[in-house]
Amino acid sequence: MTELTFLVTYTAKPGQRETFLRALAARGIPEAVRAEAGCLQYDYYLSIENEDEILLLERWTSAEAQQTHLRQPHMAQARELKELYVETTALRKLTEAD
């Protein structure tokens, strides 16, 4: 199995970054993800240069674990919150060369 690492950059709708993060936390989504089998890391970081930007660092033990993660009920809730509060999402898969 090959470990997977993703950098997800969210650009929240103007002024909605904190609201988005609070909504995720209120539903227990970050904790639910961290408790999933195969999750090695799931952490949010705030940009100091862009008040609407959030970086999510995800690490998984395998592609299978990450794909199972995407099908969890709490991820459907996360997608609904993204629709409300996030303008754009950019995903970057890191490789060993990175």
Amino acid in position 67? Q
CATH code, domain carrying 21: 3.30.70.100
What digits encode the pLDDT tens for the residues 40-90?
999 999 999 999 999 999 999 999 999 999 999 999 999 999 999 999 999
> pTM here?
0.92
Average pLDDT over residues 13-35: 98
Cα separations (Å) of 78 from 1, 4, 15, 16, 75? 27, 20, 18, 15, 5
How would residue 95 be classed by pLDDT, with cut points 50, 70 and 90? confident
Which residue range forms the structural domain that includes residue 42? 4-94
Query: What domain count does the chain have?
Result: 1
